[in-house]
Amino acid sequence: MRRSLMLLFTAILFAALTLGQEKEQERLKECSTVIGEILNIPDGIPQDLLDKAECVVIFPSVKKVAIGIGGSYGRGALICRSGANYAGPWGAPAMYALEGGNIGFQLGAQATDFVLLVMNSKGAKSILSSKVKLGADASAAAGPKGRSASAATDVVMKAEILSYSRSRGLFAGVSLEGSTLRSDGGANKNLYRKELSAEDIILKGAVRAPAAAQSLVSQLNKKSPKNKSENR
């Protein structure tokens, strides 16, 4: 009887782990679809801003989960250029969460996709090391649209994080100040089958990008293969 119970428990645990991993794999595929579509929007994210970004965060199909502004959240992935100075190709993703009341003001009845560009190493260090409140712990602004960012304001150009949204086919820069970004430890464990921090995944290269992330990685490597920020 004891052996049968142990086998049953093991089977249930394995099924739960597999289900959790499949869920995160599907989320990565959704991130790939979103970034592929958004990067090909005419007059969308300026190429020169993407080329200067250290990291990109994608949150597909964010929805309101409660009446009011307190229950808005999104789950997605952070992907950065590899290497200590973010000078290498795009690497393995870490799963992330976007939370806070300010998200609710951006959401209607339809699901909304969010894409955030992390524009310098200071911003990347902030979101990798701890929970970050946009606008307080890291400067944030609505991202400019168009083929070039040359017309962007000084505030935008000095921001550590630039954010965009897409809903009902409409793409625009959007302010997410007051919302928070944090590493989703449970999702990372589900995906990689072991305890990993965002720093382990992004900076230490503790794991390779899973198969479900290959399309996401390859699209970014094709669209922006080299970091062209000023400190390179």
pTM: 0.86
Please report the pLDDT score of residue 15 as a whole number.
46
Which CB contacts under 8 angstroms, 24+ apart, belong to 46-50?
A: 46/144, 46/145, 46/146, 46/147, 46/148, 46/149, 47/147, 47/148, 47/224, 48/148, 48/149, 48/150, 48/228, 49/117, 49/119, 49/143, 49/144, 49/149, 49/162, 50/117, 50/223, 50/224
Please, which residues bridge with residue 172 across strands?
165
When pLDDT is averaged across residues 146-167 and rounded to a whole number, the result is 78
- Cβ count within 10 A of residue 35: 23
Measured CA distances, 174 to 47, 66, 140, 186, 204 (Å): 18, 21, 10, 28, 32
Which of 2-11, 115-124, 160-169, 215-224 comes out lowest in average pLDDT?
A: 2-11
Residue 69: strand, helix, or coil: coil
CB of 75 closer than 8 Å to CB of 184: yes
Work out the pLDDT band at 216, boundaries 50, 70, 90. Answer: very high
Burial of 32 (0-12, 13-18, 19+ CB in 10 A): buried
Residue 100: strand, helix, or coil: coil
Which tens digits make up the pLDDT trace of 64-84? 655 444 456 789 999 999 988
220 or 154, higher pLDDT = 220
Work out the pLDDT band at 32, boundaries 50, 70, 90. Answer: very high
Work out the pLDDT band at 99, boundaries 50, 70, 90. Answer: confident
Please report the pLDDT score of residue 29 as a whole number.
96
Work out the pLDDT band at 14, boundaries 50, 70, 90. Answer: very low
pLDDT at 5 over 80: no
Please report the pLDDT score of residue 73 as a whole number.
76
Which tens digits make up the pLDDT trace of 117-135? 999 999 999 999 989 999 9
What is the C-alpha R_g of the chain?
A: 18
